[in-house]
A and B are shown apart, each in its own frame.
Chain A
Amino acid sequence: MINAQVIHMRLSRFGRVLVLGLLALPLLAGCQQKTPCKAACSPYFSDLELADWDQTLRKASLSIAGRLPDSIERELVKRQGQVGLESVLDQMMTEEPFYDRLKEIYNDVLLTDRYLSDGTMILDPERFPTARYFEEYENNSPDFIANAYGANWGIGREPLNLIAYVVRNNRNFGEILTADYTLVSSYTAQSYGLYGYTFVGEPFSKENLLEARIPGSVHVGLLTTPSFLNRFPTSATNRNRHRSRYVYKLFLDVDVMLLGTRPLTTSNIDGDTPTMNDPACVSCHATVDPLAGMFQNWNDEGFYRPPERGWHDDMVAAGFNGENYKKDGQEPLRWLAQRIVKAPGFQRAAVNTLYKGLIGDEPMGLPEDGETPEALAAIAAFEAQQAVLSEIGRNFKDSGYNLKTVVKGIILSPYFRARNIKEDAPAERDLDYAKIGMGRLLTPEMLNRKIKTVLALDRYWGEPGRLEPEQYLLSEDRYLIYYGGIDSVSTTTRITQPNGIQVNVARRMSNELACRAVALDFSQTRKGRALFPYVDAGTLPENIEDDTIEGGANQDAIRLNIQYLHDRLLDERRVIGDDELERTFNLYLETLRDGRERVARGETPAALPGDCQGNRDHWNPPPDGQRQQRRSGITEDADYNVRAWMAVVSYMLADYKFLYE
């Protein structure tokens, strides 16, 4: 299992060298330039200890590509520093996991994944009578299941697919709101009644998408996708105000709820149309209602139904930003979208959304005035951050609104890279940097990917399943909700501070995976191992019983492997002799000695627990009805050495530096 990934990496090595070589060519020609850096490189941040480029590469790679960087990428960054890093990031942002991550980030605000399981139910049945075409197949037949899954999922994912598509093709990010097309898969094309499209490559992949214009439909980016319109619904009396509010929030960085005069009370509302006449109401509605009017052609079910008698005349006229919409035949929503993408708030909203996604916190809010050291520090911190985010926004604009520049800008910033405050920095800097630094609890999705790549597993942590393997951290039936994830339906915000349940989930993960992975790794040849390239299962420290244990080739190898594990699992570059490496060595040695004695006394078996034996392939079970084929692999552990290494691995897998980035 572990071999498979290594082999894959080797097979693709030539290709990667070629790609990265080509990427580096502009450097040789002097064309590749660093991302401009003024605010992010200002003296304000000079007392921070930043991750070096190699460490930044690792963190970025896990974050946006869901994998560890390979040796070629590390070498490039080692040689070329920031320029090399940016080249590698450019490459990573062409990989599919980046788009999965991007969709996760945007789903956290759009929550349209709510419709992944029943997307076709929200299509207009009058306009799309084939919406649930898959019901023609025998219920629960393989064809029914595959088509129902593909169609529902595709409709639910339409807005996020569009975002990924625009970014993938390096287009102006404004196209997510202005696109005059939608994206269809071979499944959703049938739901929309579209035929004659040719899907190059794998036609039945739900990821294989084509631009399409549905006859008789109006396409205005993700704003007119059924998922968006249903996720932000309206009613006869709400009149699209809810949609308006969220367009402001999601795409213009404006919280209209902060605009109004509050409190509002039933006793001080006067007049027939308070939203137009009462000052307490007008302060909000003067902003909300015009934009709400631009959604006038979509009804409360998200169906295209222009109002027969025109839009309400007891609302502020439809328009945006002080400009009234003129009925000149242009679809009002398109008129709106074209203006939104030119507004400064659109750029800000994109930067802030990605900042939250990549850093884990919202950008700092406006601090309260004050003269205390805390207040002054908060104001300075806010201003410094605003300068950095503005700089990223300017670079975004200069790139023609290519969202990848925002990703790079955030990764290169101190907010992504700060690891500590320099030892000799004055104490008051602690206040300045109170909200900066690593320390983001990984989401279930991020932890899921990290486990797989760091342990070089074939499968994610989970169980084999009938249709596809269950991934514990992504399954609502398992740990997704307990570990602070969202289901986009009733649980829509993530938990960012750990609780006792989450810690136990992490402990279970660390115990289980240490058990399953250690003997399996030892059962590979050294070159194929992800965890133990310097020791074997039989590599024992010399003179185990000697309390003053020192020296010896085996001990050097064990310490070297511990150093390697600290690097691979915890992103710690430590030198031999470092206190933390010695602590881990002591854990290993204490466990080994005690375990040997217990085995000798017959208190614990010499054999590894069955679930932890190296001849089991937990992740690749035989088909139903067939017996597990035993492979060669480690099953005995009379010296307790394998179990001592299991202790070390589980120690690290539930460590702060594994669970956080």
Chain B
Amino acid sequence: MAMDRREFLQKAALTGLAVFGAPLTARAQTINAPYDGPFWIFVNANGGWDPTDLCDPKGRANELARDPVNTYMTSDILQAGNITFAPHALAPNISHADFLAKYSSRMMVIRGIDLSTNGHTEGLRHSFSGRLPDGNPSLAAMIAATYAPSLPTSYLTAGGYDPTMGLVGATRIGNPSVLQTIAFPNQVNATDQSMQAKRNFQDDIVVQRVERYRAERWSSLMQHQRLARVRTSIAELYTAGLDQGTLKKVSELMPNPLSRDRFESQAQIALAAYKAGATISMSMGFGSFDTHGNHDQSHIPQMGQLLTKIDFLWNEADRLGVADRVMLVLTSEMGRTPSYNAGNGKDHWSVTSAIVMGPGVPGNRVIGGTTERVAAMKIDPDTLATVDAKDPNGVMLTPAIVHDALRDMAGVNDDFRRQFPIYPEKKIDLFKA
């Protein structure tokens, strides 16, 4: 009577079904393989950050400098090893100096990424999928789909760019305090896990039996169904419901109480989910960087908060013992103009930067660059050094080139790469040692 997931998937595969865009036979082969790769976290600075206030500092030469890119002095720019940072420090956030000192050895900065657009939606899509036109999934979704699309929370999302294009089901993180009621769906009061408080709606043995019968029924429905949309839906629902035990483990690994801050609690849940083996990747967003007016007053504190959140994330990863397996990609949907506008704000700019940290990423490294007026510079594809704009071998750094290298590093499934091409001008190993 009982049908496990392998049996269900094999039966479904016999009927030629493809689930989440991937051939089901391939999924059936990999579905039970535990994932031991890194946890990929993609963070978007919402609204378009100004890299010159973080990892691509410009400053101004003196008080009299006309039309400066920034209001801080060039002479105050911070440096740790090869990496320079804007000199901001606003309590209670971690200062840029402290952040740089703590993380520069693990940090790779990519400057001068040409997004080719000034639009929020388009820039977001380009930054996190590697392609400007609509239709590509986030890289985070592709990674989750490559390794374990059937995990209960394979791909978590809490903002940022998260379309999956059918590769994997995305899981949103809502109110963290009800996660336990979700993890224990048969318990009346799931937030109290003491034996005294344990009351079930139904006997556990009955719930298990119901699940068995349900799997049998859905398998039967699939066999009598020819419409691909319906068959895919049944299979998606079934595979999404696997691995109940893992969700319970996630709830056990979550700190109690969770942080009251939304970003922080989402990070806590995500890291616990990764530690429990339930999650491969995550998309997040933070802040409100779209500062068309009063840029310095709004943007710089936001930048400090962003670094504070990233610091929290690494501390939490440390606490769970997974810091050496977390891969962080921090970037934004666009940059901001080199000039202040009439309202002391900064408008949209199509050049941005990214910070990448994690296993296999050479730290203390800067790739790419921008001119004094924040125009993207070309790089030599072999040496990775910036070159003159007229250098015939020079290549402009684009999201496609960055994503191509990230796809290589993540080992994204070749079928998915073909299905969702990104057309880099040249293949460049940005992460070579």
A420 vs B227: C-alpha distance when bound (angstroms): 5
For this complex, 21 residue pairs linking A to B, each with C-beta atoms less than 8 Å apart, are A237-B347, A262-B116, A263-B116, A265-B116, A266-B351, A435-B229, A437-B228, A439-B230, A476-B174, A481-B174, A482-B172, A497-B169, A498-B236, A498-B237, A500-B278, A501-B152, A504-B152, A505-B185, A507-B185, A595-B206, A651-B214
Q: Is the CB of B169 within 8 A of A499?
A: yes
A505-B182, A609-B199, A647-B210 given; A500·B240 CB < 8 A = yes
Residues of B contacting A440 in the complex (Cβ-Cβ under 8 angstroms) = 233
A286 vs B85: C-alpha distance when bound (angstroms): 40
Minimum CB–CB distance from B337 to chain A (whole Å) comes to 9
Residues of A contacting B243 in the complex (Cβ-Cβ under 8 angstroms) = 500
Minimum CB–CB distance from B398 to chain A (whole Å) comes to 8
- Please tell me which stretch of A195-203, A400-408, A510-518 contacts chain B, meaning at least 4 of its Cβ atoms lie within 8 angstroms of it: A510-518
Interface string of A640-661 (1 = CB under 8 A from B): 0001001100110011100110
Interface string of A434-453 (1 = CB under 8 A from B): 11111111000000000000
Minimum CB–CB distance from B76 to chain A (whole Å) comes to 26
Q: Is the C-beta of A36 less than 8 angstroms from some C-beta in chain B? A: no
A245 vs B203: C-alpha distance when bound (angstroms): 56
Residues of A contacting B185 in the complex (Cβ-Cβ under 8 angstroms) = 504-505, 507-508, 511
Q: Which of B184-223 contact A (CB under 8 A)?
A: 185-186, 188, 199-203, 205-207, 209-210, 213-214, 216-218, 220-221
Q: Is the CB of A265 within 8 A of B171?
A: no
- Please tell me which stretch of B99-107, B118-126, B304-312, B409-417 contacts chain A, meaning at least 4 of its Cβ atoms lie within 8 angstroms of it: B118-126
The residue on A at minimum CB distance from B346 is A237
A237 vs B343: C-alpha distance when bound (angstroms): 10
Minimum CB–CB distance from A520 to chain B (whole Å) comes to 14
Residues of A contacting B226 in the complex (Cβ-Cβ under 8 angstroms) = 420-421, 425, 430, 433
Q: Is the CB of B206 within 8 A of A643?
A: yes
Q: Is the CB of A491 within 8 A of B172?
A: yes
Q: Is the C-beta of B153 less than 8 angstroms from some C-beta in chain A? A: yes
Question: B292's contact among A236, A434, A654, by CB below 8 Å, is which?
Answer: A236
Residues of B contacting A594 in the complex (Cβ-Cβ under 8 angstroms) = 205, 209
Minimum CB–CB distance from A413 to chain B (whole Å) comes to 15
A583 vs B214: C-alpha distance when bound (angstroms): 10
Q: Is the C-beta of A89 less than 8 angstroms from some C-beta in chain B? A: no
A438 vs B228: C-alpha distance when bound (angstroms): 10
**Which of A477, A480, A502, A503 is the most central at the interface, judged by chain B CB atoms within 10 Å of its CB?**
A503
Q: Is the CB of B230 within 8 A of A237?
A: no
Residues of B contacting A77 in the complex (Cβ-Cβ under 8 angstroms) = none
Interface string of B167-183 (1 = CB under 8 A from A): 01111111101100111
A539 vs B396: C-alpha distance when bound (angstroms): 77
Residues of B contacting A265 in the complex (Cβ-Cβ under 8 angstroms) = 114, 116, 350, 376, 396
Q: Is the C-beta of B389 less than 8 angstroms from some C-beta in chain A? A: yes
Q: Is the CB of B169 within 8 A of A495?
A: yes
Question: A503's contact among B170, B237, B343, by CB below 8 Å, is which?
Answer: B237
Residues of B contacting A484 in the complex (Cβ-Cβ under 8 angstroms) = 172
Residues of B within 8 Å of A, CB-based: how many? Answer: 88
Minimum CB–CB distance from A602 to chain B (whole Å) comes to 14
A503-B240, A655-B214 given; A610·B228 CB < 8 A = no
Question: A257's contact among B119, B216, B351, by CB below 8 Å, is which?
Answer: B119
Q: Is the C-beta of B164 less than 8 angstroms from some C-beta in chain A? A: yes
**Which of B188, B233, B349 is the most central at the interface, judged by chain A CB atoms within 10 Å of its CB?**
B233
A264-B116, A482-B182, A497-B20 given; A476·B175 CB < 8 A = yes
Interface string of B326-338 (1 = CB under 8 A from A): 0000000000000
Residues of A within 8 Å of B, CB-based: how many? Answer: 79
Minimum-distance CB pairs A-B, first 6: A500-B152, A263-B116, A481-B174, A508-B185, A437-B227, A503-B241
Q: Is the C-beta of B367 less than 8 angstroms from some C-beta in chain A? A: no
Q: Which of B146-180 contact A (CB under 8 A)?
A: 151-155, 159, 164, 166, 168-175, 177-178
Q: Is the C-beta of B375 less than 8 angstroms from some C-beta in chain A? A: yes
Q: Is the C-beta of A418 less than 8 angstroms from some C-beta in chain B? A: yes
Q: Is the CB of A439 within 8 A of B229?
A: yes
The residue on A at minimum CB distance from B389 is A267
Q: Is the CB of A433 within 8 A of B350?
A: no
Other than A430-B226, A477-B175, give 7 A-B pairs with Cβ distance below 8 A: A257-B119, A265-B396, A440-B233, A500-B278, A501-B152, A583-B216, A656-B233
The residue on A at minimum CB distance from B238 is A656
Question: A604's contact among B203, B237, B242, B351, by CB below 8 Å, is which?
Answer: B203
Q: Is the CB of A583 within 8 A of B213?
A: yes
Q: Is the C-beta of A612 less than 8 angstroms from some C-beta in chain B? A: yes
Q: Is the CB of B230 within 8 A of A437?
A: yes
Q: Is the C-beta of A217 less than 8 angstroms from some C-beta in chain B? A: no
Q: Is the CB of B389 within 8 A of A430?
A: no
Q: Is the C-beta of B82 less than 8 angstroms from some C-beta in chain A? A: no
Q: Is the CB of A511 within 8 A of B236?
A: no
Minimum CB–CB distance from B117 to chain A (whole Å) comes to 6
Residues of A contacting B83 in the complex (Cβ-Cβ under 8 angstroms) = none
The residue on B at minimum CB distance from A478 is B178
Q: Is the CB of A587 within 8 A of B210?
A: yes
Q: Is the CB of A495 within 8 A of B170?
A: yes
A172 vs B199: C-alpha distance when bound (angstroms): 56
Interface string of B242-261 (1 = CB under 8 A from A): 11101100000000000000
Residues of B contacting A587 in the complex (Cβ-Cβ under 8 angstroms) = 209-210, 213
A74 vs B93: C-alpha distance when bound (angstroms): 64
Residues of A contacting B322 in the complex (Cβ-Cβ under 8 angstroms) = none
Q: Is the C-beta of A104 less than 8 angstroms from some C-beta in chain B? A: no
Question: B199's contact among A266, A595, A610, A647, by CB below 8 Å, is which?
Answer: A610
